[in-house]
Structure 1
Amino acid sequence: MANLVRSAKSGSSWGMNELIAFNIEVIDVNAQTFFGNAILPQLTLSPVILDNLEEPAGPLHKADMDFFAYMEDAMIIPPGEESLVDDFAAFVLKMMRYDEGRRVIHLRKEMGFEMCGQRVDAKTDVCVMERSGTGAKYLLLVQEDKRHLSRDDPEPQLIAEAIAAFYENNRARKAAGLPKLPSRTFAGITMIGTAPTFYKIPVTDELLISLATSQYPTQVTTVTKLVPPVPFPERLANDGMKPLVNRRIILQCFDAFRQFLN
């Protein structure tokens, strides 16, 4: 693979070629391997959300109403336009307490990294950041599957965003007088409608150097991927969280996934 053509590309232009050119692989694993436990956590969410296919009649808490509104909007894909998936993803992250403590949720955050001698851009649709005395650092990245607008696979784009997040985190540490971290594993999610896929994306300083200098890394970067273990995974992209069994499993996965925001 060392003779593959490598050129500077923004994160939104990354595809399978960039993964191959920089020795990055993505492997599917089961819940036991991904979370370290085959049993998903019990949920403490509102029974209105967990037990109703659609918004029930009668007075409801605002959070319950918002869940059904955002879910309905996210499952509508307007022709030729970006969907409202990002709003739903941000709502679910907040509902699942991904913004506890000094963590904040941002939409459409711009980042950058060095690739083939140039600085290139990357933009995450949704992200979770943690504010501290050394500045804000990226913890989790979400990339919408926009294949209703183009043929671009969101997976390489998400990986490029994790690389940019690592670059930006270390740049913030350097500005604060702290040593760079040699590696970090980022939590990542791709979303099509209301259907997420979860990722753990390791990024190392060696990978950054290879990207900056157009070199083929000797060490493979292995990204692990989990499709929620719903009863009919082949229908997940279309069904998303609409079926109650899917909704419970997916939200349990969100709950378990929070452990990787470290």
Structure 2
Amino acid sequence: MANLIRSAKSSCDWDDNELMAYNIMFTAIPAHQFFPQETDVPLTLVGLDSGLTKDEVSSYAQVSPATFHLLARLHFAMDPRQAEYEPVIVSLASEVLDRFGFQKRQTCLFREYTIPLLICDDTNQVACISVCLVSDPSNSLLVLLAAKTLMGPSNVEACMVAGAIATYQFNNNRRREMGLHPLDAMTMPCITMVGTRPAFYLVPVTKALSEAVISGQFPSDRTEVLKCEVASDHDGGMEVPEYRRVAFQYFVAFQSLAQSHWEKFLSFDQVLLPPTNYHTD
């Protein structure tokens, strides 16, 4: 494996072969281990509209407009005529992130976001992210969400990891442009949404992993991605009120957890590098 050379691929073409080639593995852990105590644990929906977990459409008149919009998108996503239309799932995912506080002052959600991915010395590849949280004014990327319909979920995690690596490269390039030192590691908070079932991840991207991807080589150090799936005894996804309640609790907790990680690479109080290409008479 040490001399394995990969070909340049955009993120949408990544699959399990890329994960093996770059020595990346997933470890599933329960919520009480995934979410530290400083986040919203025990998981709760306190302070949120109780209508979020209602099932009957007739009750929508009693909920806030924001809650109505989210539930309407959820039911639209479950329409058999729309369920396999990926933009519907992307729209639902974006609405959920906005509803649960990811989009705040100086952070913006963007759909279908494209990030340059330097891989195998090819500068023409990209990572395509279904929904991306971007900071303003630094334009650093904070949270990634990869969405798929139920018909094509097989490579969603591999695509997400490629996006996390591209984000590491992008954020460090932004740091250089701002006169800051690049970081040796960033933990990227990520989410996948397959149909209406979300899963949550912490993807640690290091300089060594990024350089291995850039050169197409097998890295000696393994990258362990932590994964937390929504605990449920029910079939289906967020269309089921019992599952939806738990999933929404996870989104609330993940917002705090994600922020604790992105703040580490948004700390712009480091010593500035000396200016380059600057001349005085």
Do they superpose with TM above 0.5? yes
Percentage of identical aligned residues: 28
C-alpha contact (below 8 Å) 1:43/1:252 kept by paired residues: no
C-alpha contact (below 8 Å) 2:89/2:149 kept by paired residues: no
1:163, distance to aligned residue in structure 2 (A): 0.7
Q: Secondary structure at the match of 2:140?
A: strand
Instruction: Give deviations 1:63-93, integer Å, cap 9, x for gaps.
Output: 1221221101222354874350111111111
- Structure 1 residues without counterparts, runs of 5 or longer: none
Counterparts of 1:46 and 1:10 in 2: how far apart (Å)?
Answer: 40
Are residues 1:130 and 2:140 paired? no
1:116, distance to aligned residue in structure 2 (A): 1.0
C-alpha contact (below 8 Å) 2:19/2:25 kept by paired residues: yes
Runs of 4+ in 1 over 4 A off after TM superposition: none
Residue of 43, 48, 72 corresponding to 1:40: 43
Are residues 1:197 and 2:194 paired? no
Counterparts of 2:122 and 2:95 in 1: how far apart (Å)?
Answer: 35
1:221, distance to aligned residue in structure 2 (A): 0.6
Counterparts of 1:128 and 1:113 in 2: how far apart (Å)?
Answer: 18
Matching residue's letter, 1:138: L
Counterparts of 2:115 and 2:104 in 1: how far apart (Å)?
Answer: 23
Structural mapping, 1:51-200, within 5 Å = 51-56=54-59, 58=61, 60-76=63-79, 78=82, 81-119=85-123, 120-132=125-137, 135-146=138-149, 148=151, 150=152, 152-200=154-202
Residue 276 of structure 2 aligns with which residue?
none
Residue of 251, 255, 262 corresponding to 1:254: 251
Q: Compare 167-176 and 29-38 and name the one that shifted more.
A: 29-38
Q: Secondary structure at the match of 2:210?
A: helix
Bigger radius of gyration? 2
From the superposition, tell whether residues 151 and 5 of structure 1 become closer, same or farther in structure 2 (CA, over 3 Å): farther
Residue 27 of structure 1 aligns with which residue?
27
1:137, distance to aligned residue in structure 2 (A): 0.8
Counterparts of 2:164 and 2:229 in 1: how far apart (Å)?
Answer: 19
RMSD: 1.9
C-alpha contact (below 8 Å) 1:123/1:161 kept by paired residues: yes
Matching residue's letter, 2:111: L
Count residues in correspondence: 254
Residue 271 of structure 2 aligns with which residue?
none
Counterparts of 1:163 and 1:36 in 2: how far apart (Å)?
Answer: 24
From the superposition, tell whether residues 151 and 247 of structure 1 become closer, same or farther in structure 2 (CA, over 3 Å): closer
Instruction: Give deviations 1:113-148, integer Å, cap 9, x for gaps.
Output: 21111121111000111113xx21111111112452
From the superposition, tell whether residues 139 and 177 of structure 1 become closer, same or farther in structure 2 (CA, over 3 Å): same
C-alpha contact (below 8 Å) 1:138/1:169 kept by paired residues: yes
Instruction: Give deviations 1:12-48, integer Å, cap 9, x for gaps.
Output: 0000010100111111111111112573134321112
Q: Secondary structure at the match of 2:175?
A: helix
Q: Compare 161-170 and 45-54 and name the one that shifted more.
A: 45-54
From the superposition, tell whether residues 99 and 83 of structure 1 become closer, same or farther in structure 2 (CA, over 3 Å): closer
Matching residue's letter, 1:90: S
Residue 225 of structure 1 aligns with which residue?
227
From the superposition, tell whether residues 79 and 64 of structure 1 become closer, same or farther in structure 2 (CA, over 3 Å): closer
Counterparts of 1:104 and 1:79 in 2: how far apart (Å)?
Answer: 26
- Structure 2 residues without counterparts, runs of 5 or longer: 263-281
